[in-house]
Amino acid sequence: MVNGMIYFLSDAHLGSLAIERGWAHQKKLIDMLEEMSKDAVSIYMLGDMFDFWMEYFIHDKSKRQFHPFCKELRKLAKKGIHVHMFIGNHDLWTFGGLAQLTGAEIHYEPCTIIRYGKAIFLAHGDGLLPENWEKLYPKEIKKKIKRFIKLREIFRSPFLQFCFRCLPPSWGNHFGYNWAKKSRLKELANPCPYKGEDKEELVLFAKDQEKQQNHRDYYIFGHRHIELDLQIASGSRVVILGDCFKQWTYAKLDNKGNLTLHNF
């Protein structure tokens, strides 16, 4: 389907201990993908599709719980639909296994694509800040951002990743899923709404890119679990996709280059 639709979704957090009825959650995501497959040419998943994903040196039997979802992605690929998965901050520990299981192309860094005459910047969104971010935020906010940056560096350390991969999967998963559960419960209890155009980090990042003459028509992100479609002064649109466990939101690009947000 040369001129088919292009879909964007993110943040399913499959396997989360904070989401009740895990199978029903996974089944709804599969139903969503099957509906998209009717007219899709490409599907982009922008990170945190899993609440925790680590590929150990020892075989991890618990990955079986995700076989239906992985099987659906392989089915899409066999249909000729290009399936792309970006790592997030919960599922960045893939070293080739996820690509094998799903047939998807894995993206480890943000990228810009050109589709239907539109330049589109794609990223999960964690760690993206404007260059002058330290001048933009008060002291307490800067402390939180610096803590997150440090944690992100730890998560991405090749040495620490190697050490964690040596653990028995049951140990590593117990730690990983419970860490993620605390994050999910904290978010559900105290959601962080849209901060406003002058404070939202991903909006400020997009504005900074435009200021540096790195023009894109669309900036599409996950990570924040809010739904946003904002046109900034340069004419670009900043889109934050929401999630696929509570809001069930996604974006669609048609063959004329029009991007729209939808609920499933």
CB burial of 88-97 (b: ≥16 within 10 Å; e: otherwise) equals: bbbbbbbeeb
Tell me: the pLDDT tens digits for 152-178?
A: 999 999 999 999 999 999 999 999 999
191 φ/ψ sector (left φ>0, alpha ψ -120 to 50, else beta): beta
Q: Is the pLDDT of residue 188 over 80?
A: no
Backbone φ, ψ for residue 188 (5° rounding): -65, -35
Q: Where are the domains of the chain?
A: 5-108+135-190+241-263
DSSP H or E stretch at residue 54: none
Summarize the confidence of residues 118-139 as an average pLDDT: 91
Q: Is the pLDDT of residue 201 over 90?
A: yes
Select from 119, 116, 120, 95 the least CA-distant residue to 106: 95
Summarize the confidence of residues 3-16 as an average pLDDT: 96
When mean pLDDT is compared across 48-62, 184-198, 208-222, the lowest value belongs to 184-198
DSSP annotation of 104? P
Q: Is the pLDDT of residue 191 over 70?
A: yes
d(CA 204, CA 208): 6
Percentage of the chain with pLDDT > 90? 86
- pLDDT band of residue 207 (cuts 50, 70, 90) is very high
d(CA 87, CA 77): 19
When mean pLDDT is compared across 113-127, 174-188, 238-252, the lowest value belongs to 174-188
DSSP annotation of 1? -
When mean pLDDT is compared across 176-180, 190-194, 221-225, the lowest value belongs to 190-194
Summarize the confidence of residues 130-151 as an average pLDDT: 87
Write the DSSP string, 218-237. EEEE-SS--EEEEE-TTS-E
Q: Is the pLDDT of residue 247 over 70?
A: yes
Q: For the whole model, what pTM was predicted?
A: 0.95
CA distances from 205 to 56, 116, 121, 139, 187 (A): 34, 24, 11, 19, 23
Select from 109, 117, 121 the least CA-distant residue to 218: 121
Most distant CA pair in the chain, distance = 51
Average pLDDT, the chain: 94
- What pLDDT sits at residue 1? 61
- What pLDDT sits at residue 128? 94
Tell me: the pLDDT tens digits for 75-98?
A: 999 999 999 999 999 999 999 999
As beta bridge partners, residue 5 has: 40
- pLDDT band of residue 190 (cuts 50, 70, 90) is confident
- What pLDDT sits at residue 189? 77
Q: Is the pLDDT of residue 141 over 80?
A: yes
